[in-house]
Amino acid sequence: MNLIIKVSLFITLIFSTQYSTAKIYYAESASKIKKKVFSFTLKKMDSSDEFNVLKIQKVGVGYSLSQYFSPSGKYLVVYLTRKKKETDELIVYSANDFTEIFRKNMKIPSFYYGTHIEPFFNVDETIISLQVMKSKKIHMVNAYLVEDGSLLYSKILEKKAVLIGQSSTKNTLYIGGKPGVRGYSSIEIIDIHNGESLNKFAKKKAKYEYKSNITSNLFIADYLSSKRHDYEIIVLDKNSGKSVLRERIGDVAAAFITTNEGKDVYFVNKSRKGKGFDVNQLVNNEIIELAHSEIDFKPVFLSISNQFNRFVVASKSNFVLIDVDNSIQSEKISAPFDIATGYFSSDDSLVYMREGSGSEVAVIDFAQQKVINESGTGRQSVKFGQFMATVAL
């Protein structure tokens, strides 16, 4: 039997919980049964004890497994997906001892590269909300009580609408309408407790699209003016919908990232000065330039360190490392594959990059400014746990 071991990739690449000097990691094993069918098992490991396995939980049989933790780390949410015509499963465990709290059959929509929309919890983690499918054309936001999995409400979405985010207070959810190349044509705010619509922003003839990067009080949008390739950034007040900032940012759409539970916004764009690009922070509705580079390429994503002082600016095939505290910038570095995204390690010394069209993972040493390791499995979204354990921790 073909056995594949992988470490689950979350927003910081690997989920860990700190217990005094011990670090707890969650890994996944998948034994192949037949083509596109695997038997999945979850493992809880102690990295301070040579990754000794503390708990094992059999999940079930399917094609892929996606895992998410509640903000407090109390709950582990699993999407067990299967072939298109088969039913998927939502499973909620206690992260501490892998006790299964509830399991529900449903169809979970799959998007780019087989990814899924993450679930969202309310502030006291008594409600879990996620996007599900009634049919290919009918999607809904379903909310369940965490204690027993009973359905709280089901809200049918408009055609092509997507559940895209949550407020920093965790009381509201954001639904993006009709996704475009750069964002969404509208944003609807709903109450996470009952699914009621609280507000909606949309213009029938809008030339801009809302971003999914949303702060606690503001929406961020790109705007394509009547002049071709002339972009502006627009910041809209969440309550009134009025513009509080509007400024030209260049001839290429910006790449945004939010931190601190959506309260801080950073973005990279082609420089307004001409050649190169700028790394900026949005502070009190003003754009503050943190770094400027003369390297001329089209940035498509921005990654920020845990201390908010190091950045990775990447195009599809190259990247630049920036340390704003020490005024350090690397040269343009070629990536070993087409880049989908990247994350910093917990100590900000390493950057992990994921391939967009395949299964490769590359490890970049920030100080050395070079790729120090890479690995892949031949199956999209699967990463070797042994590889991650030896080079990523």
Q: How far is CA 246 from the centre of its chain?
A: 27
Q: What is the pLDDT of residue 48?
A: 64
Q: Rounded to an integer, what distance in angstroms lies between the CA atom of residue 294 and that of residue 121? A: 42
Q: Rounded to an integer, what distance in angstroms lies between the CA atom of residue 65 and that of residue 67? A: 7
pLDDT tens for each residue of the chain, 393 residues long: 333 333 333 322 334 443 333 467 777 788 889 888 899 988 887 766 666 788 888 999 998 888 888 988 899 999 999 887 889 999 999 988 889 999 999 999 887 656 788 899 999 999 999 999 998 889 999 999 999 999 999 999 998 899 988 877 788 898 988 776 656 778 888 999 999 998 887 765 555 566 655 666 666 666 555 555 567 777 777 666 677 887 877 777 778 887 776 667 888 888 877 788 999 998 888 889 999 999 988 888 888 998 889 999 998 889 999 999 998 999 999 988 888 778 888 889 988 887 766 667 788 999 999 988 876 544 434 443 333 333 333
The SS3 assignment for 22 reads strand
Residue 156 belongs to what H/E stretch? strand 151-156
From 317, 276, 304, 315, select the one nearest 366 (Cα to Cα): 304
| Helix residue ranges, H only, 112-236 | none
- Full DSSP string of 49-90: GTTEEEEEEEEEEESEEEEEE-TTS-EEEEEEE--TTS-EEE
**pTM, entire model:** 0.66
CB neighbourhood size of 312 (10 A) = 25
**CB under 8 Å, gap of 24 or more: what pairs does 129-138 form?**
129/163, 129/173, 129/192, 130/90, 130/163, 131/157, 131/162, 131/163, 132/106, 132/107, 132/108, 133/106, 133/107, 133/108, 133/109, 134/107
255 and 315 Cβ atoms separated by less than 8 Å: no
Count of CA atoms in the C-beta half-sphere (13 A) of 265? 25
Q: Rounded to an integer, what distance in angstroms lies between the CA atom of residue 5 and that of residue 383? A: 8
Edge-first strand order for the sheet with 255-259 is 255-259, 264-270, 277-283, 286-293
From 87, 198, 192, 82, select the one nearest 144 (Cα to Cα): 192
DSSP structural state of residue 170? S
Count of CA atoms in the C-beta half-sphere (13 A) of 100? 13
Q: What is the pLDDT of residue 386?
A: 36
174 and 162 Cβ atoms separated by less than 8 Å: no
Q: Rounded to an integer, what distance in angstroms lies between the CA atom of residue 302 and that of residue 266? A: 8
Beta strands in 294-338 (DSSP E): 301-304, 310-314, 318-323, 328-329, 333-334
- The residues, ordered by sequence, that sit 6+ positions from 132 with a Cβ below 8 Å of its Cβ are 106, 107, 108, 109, 139, 140, 141, 142
